[in-house]
Chain A
């Protein structure tokens, strides 16, 4: 089954304790992206990757890191989490088709709480 998986689905942590949220896709997609979703703000892009070893900042990259060492995986790293990073996080992947028109497949989400 074609899918994007994220782990963990739920995480409660404390300020400053480094954490990694994993994302994996089995569709051989080139493009992967991380978003956070907050009430009233919709989805905001954190980082995206056009292919292996190619990443770029989205709209809200501060406090986050990513890496793309292999095509299927795109982990999101919070080196020193803070309470304002409490949010619902989504990973997505797609295979770019014509210019600007690519269907994004989203993972099930990771609900992170930082106390």
Chain B
């Protein structure tokens, strides 16, 4: 059983559309991170959120940390083919600052 549940598992959209990826848990986290991974490469960190209710923007990407620090979302506005990739959320448990748990990932495909 995954500590972090991501949905949807797969997402295919047309260029210019918006999309949202969700990351949910029953556990409380000190922080949540979002990574993007491209084929044949390691994940690359996009953002870290640490405060409940926090919203961070990275160009067309908006990240939100739930008020209760159990969930997070990633919203992409006007998606482009370059946004294609595997998006992973990862949480640092409050009980152990050094253990990072990942969700299974959401594969996003943006068609030109």
6 contacts between A and B (CB under 8 A): A40-B9, A43-B90, A45-B100, A99-B30, A100-B30, A106-B42
Specify which chain B residues have a CB less than 8 angstroms from the CB of A95 in the assembled complex. Answer: none
Residues of B5-60 whose CB lies within 8 A of A: 6, 9, 29-31, 33, 40-45, 48, 50
Interface residues, chain B, CB within 8 Å of chain A?
2, 6, 9, 29-31, 33, 40-45, 48, 50, 88, 90, 92, 94, 97-105
Interface residues, chain A, CB within 8 Å of chain B?
4, 31, 33, 35, 40-45, 48, 50, 56, 58-59, 90, 92, 96, 98-109
Specify which chain B residues have a CB less than 8 angstroms from the CB of A44 in the assembled complex. Answer: 102
A103 & B45 in contact (Cβ 8 Å cutoff): yes
A42 & B105 in contact (Cβ 8 Å cutoff): yes
Closest to B2 in A: A42
Closest to B89 in A: A42
Q: How far is the CB of B28 from chain A (nearest CB, A)?
A: 11
Known A-B contacts A42-B105, A43-B43, A108-B41; A56 and B92 likewise in contact (beta carbons under 8 Å): no
B42 & A90 in contact (Cβ 8 Å cutoff): yes
Q: How far is the CB of A42 from chain B (nearest CB, A)?
A: 4
How far apart sit A109 and B41, CA to CA, in the bound complex (Å)? Answer: 7
Specify which chain B residues have a CB less than 8 angstroms from the CB of A33 in the assembled complex. Answer: 100
Specify which chain B residues have a CB less than 8 angstroms from the CB of A43 in the assembled complex. Answer: 43, 88, 90, 102
The 4 A-B residue pairs whose C-beta atoms are closest, nearest first, are: A106-B42, A100-B30, A100-B92, A42-B104
